[in-house]
Amino acid sequence: MTEPGDPRGTRWGARRFSLRGRVTLLAAACVAGAVALVSIGAYMVVRSNLYQQLDDSLMARAQAAVKSPQVQTQLQQVPGAFLASADLQIGQLNAAPDVQHAVMTYPTSSSPPPFGQDELNVANGDSVQSLRTDFRTDSRVVALPNGHGEAIVLAQSMGPTKRTLNELALVLFLIGGAGILVAAAAGTAVARAGLRPVDRLTSAAERVSRTGDLRPIPVSGDDELARLTQTFNTMLGAVADSQERQRQLVADAGHELRTPLTSLRTNLELLLAAGKPGAPPLRDEDRVDIIADISGQLDELTQLIGDLVELARQDEPRERFERVELLDVVERALDRARRRAGEINFDVSLQPWVLTGDNSSLERAVLNLLDNAVKFSPPDATVWVRLYPLGDGTAVVEVADAGPGIAEEDLPKVFDRFYRSSEARTLPGSGLGLAIVKHAAERHGGAVYASRAPEGGALMTIRLPGAPG
């Protein structure tokens, strides 16, 4: 016996009412219902027919008895049917004021048929005929007028008919029971075969939770369960891709963090060593260089961590998306970029565009493009910013700089995480800015492109779906 909350009791209850058991029970219940309905219907039809045949036969014999000629016996004349009615009870009822005074004449070789007020009414001429069940003798009784204040009464036992019906009920019960057992067995077989893919899914889910193994499940067939298995495999693939991206991000982040952390440790060790008693003092210009280097490395670490947090934040559910005026987003990003652009000029041309998305994510993406253009442009150069629709349900945000441009071999890689071209390795940055741009565009159903601008610099493009504002 298990206590409330005992997991053994929970598992036992889960097995007892498993899906396979419910399918089997449902199949047996459906067949039982169908068999019961058919059996009851068949029994009622046969019962009605048997009793109707009994009544028809009894009525026909009563009519024949009324028409039969009179036969003289030792005591009196009686209907000739008395001589051919050994299988039933027959009698001639004389009219009387009441049942107590009525006289029934019947063959001496048999017992008299039961009679009552219904039969007396026929003899008295008050009823044309009478047909009823006498429950005392369990028989059907019919009475027809015979003229001269007399009625012919016939009674036949219902025992043989009831025995036939009892035998029929037994046969229907046995056949129905066998049908239910066969249905239960068939339901068990169908449930076992049909739910085998579900068992595989369950085993796979348990394997994933236990070992983290994300191997796909073999798919057989093309029914609903096969599609469920394919969907589960798709989910496993998505989880595997997510894990792989997480591992790659951690590995890349560790690689990128190693350099600034090593530099910080070296500079701090130099400062600590110079502060020990007896150590040669650092020159002022060396101390200033070390402190400046530490400050620069801290800034690089801060930017790298911020970019990593931004990448993680962009994986939030799409349910938080709202109406976005892309023109306002670009203008806000331009305001922020101008404050830190120094002598760089901006040539801006914007057209209204509306989409559903995340304001802050798109603003960060546009700002990253602007900062990237500023970083690679020489002083007093111009950065071109354009927002316009393409006429196919999408619009593009283009940012072109006046820098050295992007080498052909670097174009396919510039949006990869932590990728930095040979020209960019000497400049500050985490290598995540353009990756954040790509992530934001794809999250909004768009895409990013890198090419060379007509003026020779880099041309970065974000393409987003939406509608004119």
Total length of the chain: 469
Instruction: For 19-60, write each residue's pLDDT tens digit.
Output: 777 877 887 888 888 888 998 999 999 999 999 999 998 898
Residue 245 one-letter amino acid? R
CA of residue 205 relative to chain centroid, distance: 17
pLDDT band at 308 (very low <50, low <70, confident <90, very high): low
Sign of CA dihedral 426, 427, 428, 430: negative
Residue whose tokens read 């008295």: 124
- 395: which residues sit within 8 A by CB, 6+ positions away? 326, 351, 353, 387, 388, 389, 463, 464, 466
Q: What is the mean pLDDT of residues 314-336?
A: 79
Instruction: Give the C-alpha distances (Å, rounded to integers) separating 461 from 93, 360, 375, 464.
Output: 116, 18, 17, 10
The answer to whether the CB of 366 falls within 8 A of the CB of 462 is yes
Residue-wise pLDDT for 243-286, tens only, equals 777 776 666 666 666 767 787 888 888 878 877 787 777 777 87
What distances in angstroms separate CA 163 from CA 83, 89, 416, one per listed residue? 28, 20, 90
What digits encode the pLDDT tens for the residues 399-417?
998 888 877 777 777 777 6
For 69-85, what is the mean pLDDT?
59
312 — pLDDT class (breaks 50, 70, 90): low
- CA-based nearest residue to 362, from 459, 460, 436: 436
CB crowding 380-419: b at 16 or more within 10 Å, else e: ebebbbbbebeeeebbbbbbbbbbebbeeebbeebbebbb
The residue with greater pLDDT, 317 or 456, is 456
Q: Which of 405, 403, 412, 329 is nearest to 366 (CA)?
A: 329
d(CA 116, CA 103): 11
Question: pLDDT tens digits, residue range 332-383?
Answer: 999 988 887 878 889 999 999 999 988 888 888 898 889 888 888 888 888 9
Question: How many Å apart are CA 142 and CA 135, to the nearest integer?
Answer: 14
Q: Give the C-alpha distances (Å, rounded to integers) separating 293 from 254, 262, 283, 297, 299.
A: 20, 12, 15, 6, 10
Two structure tokens written together for 425: 């390795």
Beta-carbon contacts of 174 under 8 Å, excluding residues fewer than 6 positions away, are none
φ/ψ of residue 382, rounded to 5: -120, 135
Residue 8 clears pLDDT 80, i.e. is over it: no
State the pTM of this model: 0.47
Q: What is the mean pLDDT of the chain?
A: 80
pLDDT cut 70: percent of the chain above it: 83
Tens of pLDDT, residue by residue over 149-170, are 888 899 999 999 999 999 999 9
